Amino acid sequence: MITQAKWIVFLFPLALHLLWIVFIPNEPISDPYIYHTSAVSIAAGHGYIDDLGKPAGRWAPGYPFYIAFFYWLFKPSYSVAFAANFISTIFLVAGVYAFTSRLYNKNVAWIASLLTALWPSFILYNTVIASDILFSALLIWALYFAWIALQEKNLFIATFSGILFGFATLTRQQALVMPLVLFVMEWVQKKSIGKSLLFFLGISVIMLIICLPWTIRNEKVFGHYSLVSINFGDALWYGNHSKEVTKPFVDPKLSLYENNERLGHEAIRYILDNPGTYFLNCLKRIYVTLNSESIAVDWNKIGIKRALGSGAILPLTVVTNGAWFLLLIGVVWSLLTKIFQKQDWILITIIILLSIPFILILGEERYHIYLIPYLLILATRK
C-alpha cells in the first residue's frame, strides 16, 4: 500500500508537464526552429536538410529523426513535437530511477527521480524543440545497461547498451567518450579491469557501427567522412578566437566540411599562440555554463507571454535559477556531510566527462542541463 502511495505522488509532476504543454502555446525560435524544419523535411521524405533547404550536417541527426517519426505518424505540428518531448521526459525520469536503484537503493532512486520529474527546466523543456532531454534519456539508459552488463557479465545486455550509446551519440556527439565510465564501474565492483576493457571495446565498436550509416551519408553528401556532425571546428572557433573578430567568415566557395576544418585550424592556432588566455577561457566557460539556468524560459518566451503575460517571465526565471543554485548547494552539502562511497565516483566521472566540451571547447548555459540528473542523484544519496 505504501509503495503504491509513493508512486501516486508522481501524478502531480506529470500533471504539471501536461498542463504546461496544453496551456503554453509556444513557437520555436533559433535552434528549435531549425530542428522543427529539419524534422518536417525528413517526415515528408525530402531528407535531412536545414532551414535554407541545403543538406544538413552541422548538427547531429538523432533528434530531428526522432521528432520526424512522430510527424510522419501523425502530422507536422509543434504540439506533436511537444508530445514527443514529454515521452522523452518520462523515459528520463524512469532512467534516473532505474540507474539510481542499481547504484544505491530504491529509496534514493525514488527521491532522485521525483526531483527529476519536478525539475522546473525539464517541465519547460517539453515545449522546446531541442535535443537535450532525448539525449539525457538515452544516455542514462545506456549507462544503466552498461552497469548491468558488467555486473552480470552479459554480452547481450552489453550489446543493447552499445546500441543506446550509439543513438545517444547520433543525438549529441559528446556521448562518444561516455563508455569510459565502464572502467570506473568495474573498479567500484572490485572486478577485473581487463574484463572491463573487453566490454569497453565491444560497446564502443557497437556504438560506432550504429553511427556508421550516417558517417557514410556524410561522405556521400559532403565528400568527407564525418562520424556524426560537422561542427567541431565551428564550435572550437566560437569558444577560442580573437575578440577583434565577432563573427566567423564563411567562405561560400567552400563546403560545410571545408569551412568547419578551416575554422578549426584557426581556433587551434589561436590556442597555441595564446595558451594562457586559453586556460583563462576554460575557467570562464565553467562560469558561463554554471552561472544561471534560464535558457528554458528564454526559449519559451513566446508561449509564456501569450498565455501568462510578460510579467511571468521574471518569476519563472527566478524559479529555474533558484532550483539550479539550490541543487549546487545540495551537492556540496552532500559531499561534505555524507560518507563518501565508491559508487559516488561513477557519478563524478559522468559529470566530468559531460563537462569536458563546455570546459575545453564552448561554454553555454544549456550545456549543464545534462549534468542535472547526476547532480540530483549525488545530492540525494544516503
List pLDDT tens digits, range 277-330: 999 999 999 999 999 999 999 999 999 999 999 999 999 999 999 999 999 999
Whether residue 309 is found in the same domain as residue 256: no
Whether residue 261 is found in the same domain as residue 282: no
Whether residue 243 is found in the same domain as residue 332: no
pLDDT tens per residue across span 170-217: 999 999 999 999 999 988 877 666 777 889 999 999 999 999 999 999
In this prediction, residue 357 has a pLDDT band, given cuts at 50, 70 and 90, of very high
Cα 326 from chain centre? 21
347 grid coordinates: 557519478
Average pLDDT over residues 333-355: 94
Instruction: Give the Cα separation of 343 and 320 in Å (integer).
Output: 29
Instruction: Give the Cα separation of 149 and 152 in Å (integer).
Output: 5
- Structurally, how many domains does the chain consist of? 2
Q: What does residue 87 show for φ and ψ, rounded to 5 degrees?
A: -60, -40
Instruction: Give the Cα separation of 361 and 238 in Å (integer).
Output: 8
Q: Specify whether the CB–CB gap between 127 and 26 falls below 8 A.
A: yes
pLDDT tens per residue across span 107-144: 999 999 999 999 999 999 999 999 999 999 999 999 99
Instruction: Give the Cα separation of 150 and 161 in Å (integer).
Output: 11
Instruction: Give the Cα separation of 344 and 178 in Å (integer).
Output: 16
Q: What is the pLDDT of residue 2?
A: 47
Is the pLDDT confidence value at 264 over 50? yes
Whether residue 186 is found in the same domain as residue 257: no
What percent of the chain is helix, strand and coil (3-state, nearest 5)? 75, 0, 25
Last residue of a domain, one of 246, 267, 288: 267
Whether residue 288 is found in the same domain as residue 141: yes
Whether residue 245 is found in the same domain as residue 336: no
Nearest one of 330, 316, 377, 307 to 349, comparing CA atoms: 377
Whether residue 159 is found in the same domain as residue 41: yes
Whether residue 237 is found in the same domain as residue 308: no
Whether residue 221 is found in the same domain as residue 247: no
Whether residue 244 is found in the same domain as residue 197: no
Question: 187-201 b/e with 16+ CB inside 10 Å = b?
Answer: ebeeeeeeebeebbe
Last residue of a domain, one of 222, 246, 267: 267
Domain interval for residue 220: 2-230+274-380
Whether residue 182 is found in the same domain as residue 240: no
Whether residue 325 is found in the same domain as residue 240: no
